[in-house]
Structure 1
Amino acid sequence: AYKLGQNYLPILALSGWLSEQPGAVVKTVNGSLQVGVRAIPIDPEGRYLLNWYGPGGSKGVFKYITFSSVIQSASALRYGGVASLPPGYFKGKTVIVGAEASGLKDLKPTPFSSLGDYPGMEIWATLLSNLRNNDFITIVPDYLNVMNTILVTLLAFWAFSRLPPKLSYPGLFFVLVYIIALAAYLWWAERILVNVTMPVTGFIFAYAFIFFNEQKDKLFLKKAFGTYISPELINVMYQNHEEPQLGGETINGTPLFTDIQRFSSFSELVSAQDLVALLNEYLTKMTDILLSEGGTLDKYEGDAIIAFFGAPVRLPDHAVRAARTAVRMQKGLSELREKWRQEKGRWPDVVSQMRMRIGLSSGEMVTGNMGSKTRMNYTMMGDTVNTAARLESSAKAYGVYTQISHHTAALLGEEFAMRELGTTRVFGKKEALTTFEILDYTKDLSDADRELLALWPQGLAAVKNQTWTIAIKIFEQTLAFERQFEGRPTNPSRVYLEERIPYWRAHPPGKNWDGIWALSSK
């Protein structure tokens, strides 16, 4: 219907149908055209949404009869001949006259226009059939579409921001598919038109909003921690909503300290430019190993690497990761030594013989952004940190390259081959500490390593029992196995044979001896 002021002027098909409804009262009520007891849905402008039955044209839903066949049949009935249409063919039928010639410009697009535009009389025929058969399309009111959109958008916001992706994405995808499937069912079964564009748009908007906020937050984390930890841990931090506390927080973790043995002598034999290249190659390989195990790089101090495990992302297996890093670093340095050895003529022998010491300890420590208001560093502090640093430096007293505290050793399993070095009071510390050496992965031990590890506890037991002759005999046996380790200026067996046992023999510890050896230097 055409709207004229406050009134509606019926169009051709509606006028024809109204002629079939004598005496019916016509009025508009709540967005519909009320004809008697029948309500025809229209919009405020008087427009009606056609319920199309299918493709149009001569092979479509409605029967097409050409004018030529009508004229031929009339002529045949009048003058004799065979009519193409039988007499009374149009009786009881509604005939809509129109043209399908494109030049008359009456071809109209329809939902089936991909198959071609159809004559305008298809529109009248469809509307008239809708009216006669009550084939109306029910349009869901806008307020329900808006409520549906708000609900879906809020649900998407909640899911994307609160749930992990493995739950939110499948769940929301199911909701979206359900909405579209429900809308499709209501359309095909009941001709109820649900606006799916609005909720889908709300869904996309929520996803886009959360996505861009995620990228912003990830960019912040990457800028803040990208030089300290691996990209994988940054993603874990974001997914777990773990952000480090400004000013520091107490955690259980494992600090790691490394230092190259006698590195100061390198500068006397290698040019400054080559020394930088050498150090960069070394630090790159070691840092890659550190980050791949989930460690956090605190800082470089010359050739030293200072790092920790357990922050900013909590790692229940921080000690295992740190120990694995230490073993891999020692193996990585062995690979570098072989590489430098192959680069004959470039490096002096001291480079191809490079060794590093590593110290680990586990326990409570404070991590966080520390420093001044204008310059801060994400770092660690605490007694556990100091202990790890002392273990790195005191490893040279034993001639070992990876020394860990009993706190760390207690958290490691059979993956690592370790031996107790003894109980010492580390220089600068009041409390005694039992320390261990990590030799290698258990699976990679040689036969000589295994024999050494079998004998070693017997020697320590003899020391604690103050049976010095037995201890000397055992350590003389272990000394033979110690010699397999290249590049060590000393070794634990020699430490007991040449230093500690002679001292204890000269100064008997007594019956209540605690077995502690005090280190007099770092």
Structure 2
Amino acid sequence: MNIFKVNRLGILVTAAIITVILIIRQLGLLETTEDRIYDGYFQLRGPQAPPENIAIIGIDDESIGKLGRWPWPRHLHAQLLDHLAQAKAVAFDLTVNTADAPEEDLAFANAIKKQKGVVLAAHFSYSPQDGDMVQTLRLPVKDLLAVTRSLGFVNTPTEKDNVVRRAQAVITHNQKLLPSLPLAAVMAYEGIPFKELDFQPEKGARAGFLTIPQLQNTMPLINFWGPARTFPTYSYEKVLHGEIPPEAFKDKIVFVGAVSPVFKDEVNNPYSRGNMILQGNLPVPGVEIHANAAASFQLGQYVYRAPAAVNILLITVTGVLAYLLTGRRKALQGFGFLFLFAVITVTASYWFWNSQHLWIDLGALLITLFFTYLGTTVVNFVLTEREKRNIQGLFGRYVNPQVVNLLLDNPHMVELGGKRCEVTVMFSDIRGFTAYSEGKQPEEVVKRLNEYFSEMTACVFKYDGTLDKYLGDGLMAVFGAPIETADHAQKAVDAAREMHQRLQDLNAQWTARGEHTFDIGIGLNSGFVLSGNIGSKERTEFTVIGETVNLASRLESLNKQYHSRIILSENTFRHLKQAGELPSDLSELGEVPVRGLQQPVKIYTLTKMNE
């Protein structure tokens, strides 16, 4: 069967499915599914070793237990900076927008002066005012702001499902650019001055050699390295008390922030969604989100969402291929192709994500695959049932029940359109039927014909012949169509012999009843014909046409001339000879001219049937 055979209904259903999925995607109804698949890519890949030049100093439960309740006096941060003198950049993910004791702020300010790469945190707060949300930038206290060389906002955008997947690198506030804390930290590490920071909504942010893309006005997707504690994290109090050597932070970006659940500064990243307790992936501290973002900014490693046009094209192509591969197939076979196609699609999608950092809408593709398969399966069922009804209607009267069942189980074996094939055609006619029917009641004649045709038709069916039509007191049969068989000539001869034998049995019964007997003449010819459904819009019938049919009819009429009961053409003789099945009683009658043919035709008979 041709896998690319199409039908209008299947095409319409597939087109409708693709259109509906594209509309659903455009409305954003598949985003949750796509997000979950995107997160699954990270979990499938597993954690990766983070860059060695980024570390975290965490304010953990142990530090709170030893240093006291939060907030701590700021001279502790000053002491911490003394231990981080070898770090190239230190970013504090801590809000210092309220004043501490003057001596505390002074100590911290003096430490910041000595350390060139210190980045302090700012954050935006939002409050309702006159029905609108007012954004307010909360900066460090003046004494600290005056000495810091760099500043970065710490607000972290989350998706609708409260998962962080993106990082906002720059924000415009009061017509001024403000980098995020991770970008400011990387700029401090690389020695990039603030004046080199630029941002264009269509292209993204640029700072020195750093480029942070922004496609389709969306923030870049972070290439997360793993769940919580993937980046090396040191306890604040252990660093403060010298338990961690200063060399551990040499030439690194160090983020200082809360890692204790007490601060409730935890979010989910792709590694930590799902059943976090069972998976062992707890929410990620905000400071580690900043570390991941800084690593992406510095290395230029982002994940890019495929443009909408690309996803639309892929959905369309997937639907068309799914239809071509599963359409016109049995459900189980189609499911096998569906499964293989789905495996290839998932594998390719993951490869693009992992190797090329390109995120394709896999959810939409799989939904397209499934519903196209479901739609084509329903279409196949409808078409198959309709095809079976057509076959039953076309062939139920012409072939034996076994052949009908074979055609119903294998509808591809018959072409319902025109088809050229090699067959053996049989014509049979009752001798002297006109004389017999004269003076008899129509009911009696019809009853005798029905009795006769029942036996003759049974002989045709027994040898897999197709009853083409009844012709008054004769019949036309075909061997080798609609199901092609190589031994059609032999089956036609066998059927003819049995028709003769059954007629003798009928004649014996009729003689015993004192009724008139019949005699028949049969003509057989083998060759190529055009087979198919022929007729009008109102009614069509399966038949065969061509010179092969015409010659078989003329051979049947020659039986009167040769006083025989069967005449075979040279073509039928050749088929029997090639098969090595020449009847022992086959006898040549000679050559006869046939109207419409230039050369005379050599004909044969079976002598035993003429006895």
Could you say which residue in structure 2 is the equivalent of 1:243? 417
Unaligned runs of 5+ in 2: 1-167, 328-334, 396-403, 437-445, 506-511
Distance in 1, Cα, partners of 2:282 & 2:500: 78
Provide the C-alpha distance between the structure 1 equivalents of 2:380 and 2:204, rounded to a whole number of angstroms: 47
- Change in CA separation of 1:214 and 1:296 when aligned onto 2, cut-off 3 Å: farther
Q: 1:309 offset after TM fit, Å? A: 5.6
TM-score, structure 2 normalization: 0.46
Query: Aligned residue for 1:416?
Result: 581
> In the aligned structure 1, how far is the partner of 2:595 from the partner of 2:352?
80
How far the C-alpha of 1:393 sits from its partner, in A, is 7.3
Distance 1:327 1:378 in 2: 22
- Cα shift at 1:151: 6.6
Out of 64, 83, 86, the position equivalent to 2:244 is 86
Q: Is the 8 A contact 2:489 2:575 kept in 1?
A: no
Partner of 2:603: 435
User: Which residue of the other structure, out of 276, 284, 293, is the alignment partner of 1:119?
Assistant: 284
- Are residues 8 and 201 of structure 1, via their aligned partners in 2, closer, same or farther at CA, if it must alter by over 3 Å? farther
Match of 1:108 in 2: 268
Offset from partner CA, 1:72-114 (integer Å, 9 cap, x none):
786xx5xxxxx8x43548745323423358x959452524646
Distance 1:135 1:369, change over 3 A: closer
Task: Evaluate the alpha carbon distance shift between residue 276 and residue 408 of structure 1 in structure 2; reply closer, same or farther with a 3 A threshold.
Answer: closer
Partner of 1:299: 469
Maintained 8 Å contact 2:182/2:294: yes
Q: Which residue of 2 aligns with 1:188?
A: 354
Deviation (angstroms), 1:422: 1.1
Q: Secondary structure at the match of 1:26?
A: strand
Aligned residue in 2 for 1:38:
210
Q: Residues of 2 paired with 1:279 and 1:178: CA distance?
A: 59
2:259 to 92, 95, 98: 98
> CA 1:367–1:185 in structure 2 vs 1: closer, same or farther (change >3 Å)?
closer
SS in structure 2 of the partner of residue 130 of structure 1: helix
Q: Work out the CA distance in 1 between the residues paired with 2:543 and 2:179.
A: 81
Within 2, Cα distance between the matches of 1:109 and 1:124?
12
Q: CA deviation at 1:285?
A: 7.8
Distance in 1 of aligned mates of 2:575 and 2:542: 25
Q: Distance in 1 between matches of 2:519 and 2:587?
A: 21
Of 418-427 and 28-37, more deviation after overlay is shown by 418-427
Matched, 1:62 2:231: yes
CA contact (8 A) 2:272 2:284 kept: no
Please tell me whether residue 47 in structure 1 is matched to residue 219 in structure 2. yes
* Amino acid corresponding to residue 62 of structure 1 in structure 2: F
C-alpha separation in 2, matches of 1:332 and 1:8: 101
| Residues 334-365 of structure 1: per-residue CA shift (max 9 Å, x gap) | 9999xx9xxxxxxx99xxxx999854213576
Choose 92-101 or 103-112, whichever is displaced more: 103-112
What's the offset of the Cα at 1:51?
0.8
Bigger mean CA offset, 361-370 vs 395-404: 395-404
**1:133 paired to 2:302:** no
Deviates more, 1:418-427 or 1:20-29: 418-427
1:27 deviates by 0.2
Identity over aligned pairs, percent: 21
Distance of 1:219 and 1:147 partners within structure 2: 34
Local SS of the residue matching 1:128: helix
The verdict on how the C-alpha distance between 1:3 and 1:286 changes in structure 2, with shifts beyond 3 A counting, is farther
How many angstroms apart in 1 are the aligned matches of 2:366 and 2:532? 42
Aligned counterparts of 1:284 and 1:19: Cα–Cα separation in 2:
98
How many residue pairs align between the two structures?
Answer: 395
| Counterparts in 2 of 1:117 and 1:433: CA distance versus 1, 3 Å | same
Contact 2:424–2:478 under 8 Å retained in 1: yes
Q: What residue ranges of structure 1 are gaps of 5+ in the alignment? A: 78-82, 162-168, 265-271, 341-347, 439-455, 457-481, 483-487, 492-522
C-alpha change, 1:427 and 1:312, in structure 2 (3 Å) is same
Equivalent residues in 2 for 1:295-444, closer than 5 Å:
297-299=467-469, 306-308=476-478, 320-327=486-493, 329=495, 359-362=523-526, 370=534, 374-380=538-544, 384-389=548-553, 391=555, 403-412=567-576, 413-418=578-583, 419-423=586-590, 434-437=602-605
Relative distance call for 1:364 and 1:97 in structure 2 (3 A) is: closer
Residue 208 of structure 1: how far off its partner (Å): 8.0
Whole-Å Cα distance in 2 between the matches of residues 13 and 142 of structure 1? 29
| 1:382 to 1:185, Cα distance in 2 relative to 1, 3 A | closer
Encode CA deviations 1:429-468: one digit per residue, 9 max, x unaligned. 9997543347xxxxxxxxxxxxxxxxx9xxxxxxxxxxxx
Distance 1:35 1:159, change over 3 A: same
Counterpart Cα distance in 2 of 1:57 and 1:185: 25
The 3-state SS of whatever aligns with 1:410 is: helix
Alignment of 1:449-460 (within 5 A): none
Q: CA deviation at 1:139?
A: 4.1
- Matched letter for residue 295 of structure 2: S
Contact kept? 1:244, 1:312, Cα under 8 Å = no
Tell me which amino acid in the other structure corresponds to 1:235: H
**2:200 maps to what in 1?**
28
Higher normalized contact order (CA 8 Å, seq sep 6+, divided by chain length)? 2
Give the Cα–Cα distance (whole angstroms) in 2 for the partners of residues 355 and 109 of structure 1.
Answer: 93
Q: How far does the alpha carbon of each residue in 1:41-91 deviate from its partner, in whole angstroms, 9 at most, with x for none?
A: 33445433121223x245xx22345xxx655786xx5xxxxx8x4354874
Per-residue deviation at 1:323? 1.0
Using the alignment, how far apart are the partners of 1:393 and 1:38 within structure 2?
Answer: 97
- Local SS of the residue matching 2:219: coil
User: What is the aligned partner in structure 2 of residue 470 from structure 1?
Assistant: none
Name the structure with the higher strand share. 2
Contact 1:139 1:192 in 2 (8 A): yes
1:395/1:415 CA distance change after superposition, 3 Å: farther
Indicate if the aligned counterparts of 2:338 and 2:370 stay in contact, CA closer than 8 A: no
CA RMSD of aligned residues (A): 6.4
Equivalent in the alignment of 2:35:
none
- TM, length-normalised to structure 1: 0.52
2:338 touches 2:373 (CA, 8 Å); kept in 1? no
Letter in 2 for 1:34: R
